[in-house]
Amino acid sequence: MPKIRQKTTDVALRKAEVLVEALPWMRKWSGATVVVKYGGSAMEDAALRSKVLEDILLLKLMGVRVVLVHGGGKTISRLMGRLGLGVDFKNGMRVTNDETMRAVQMALVGQVNVTLVESLNKLGCYAVGLTGADGCILRAEQLDPELGRVGKVREVNADLIQKTLDSDYI
């Protein structure tokens, strides 16, 4: 057998082996809802970002209902710098007054969320960008008055998330 044909056969066999190994996982998780937390360097590195989004697409294609929860701390800090706002951290948490919160919303909703939704849509995996304020998804309580508008989630109203997933969106 020519080397090219043998190499093609070997690649096809390896792919088939991977699919056979994945079948139990696919059966177990198809139809399940999985929350993926996405942040840090995986958001900053273009190659890593592309790989993460392709993996999310793969999960979706295998029948997993994906809820993608993203960070964006570096994007927030860059925007605050461009706006001339000081960046202040206390015990690893951003001190967030009303002005800082507006910058956080601009960065997360207006930049990070939109970019992720557009990228997933381009891959053929339809996504909708939601915030904690949409449909009163999240309710939180303030952690420490010195941190300002920094809180801990106390309640999740998953109705809008469920409806979004039921409509076959990420």
| pLDDT at position 111 over 90 | yes
Calculate the CA 2 to chain-centre distance: 45
What confidence score (pLDDT) does residue 3 get? 61
- Summarised one tens digit per residue, pLDDT across range 127-137 is 999 999 999 99
What is the model's pLDDT at position 60?
Answer: 94
CATH superfamily membership of 31-166: Acetylglutamate kinase-like (3.40.1160.10)
- pLDDT band (50, 70, 90) for residue 6: low
Q: Residue 15 — pLDDT band, cuts 50, 70, 90?
A: confident
Please state the domain extents for the chain.
1-30, 31-166
CA distance 137 to 20: 39
Statement: residue 2 has pLDDT above 60: no
- Alpha-carbon distance 140 to 152, whole Å? 5
Q: Is 44 helix (H, G, I), strand (E, B) or coil?
A: helix
CA distance 98 to 109: 16
Residue 151: Cβ within 10 Å count: 15
Average pLDDT over every residue of 41-63:
91
HSE (side-chain half, CA atoms, 13 Å) at 160: 13
54-102 confidence digits (pLDDT tens): 999 999 999 999 999 999 999 999 999 999 999 899 999 999 999 999 9
Q: Is the dihedral of CA 107, 110, 116, 119 positive or negative?
A: negative
CA angle 120, 117, 86 (to 5 degrees): 130
**Which amino acid is located at 166 in the chain?**
D
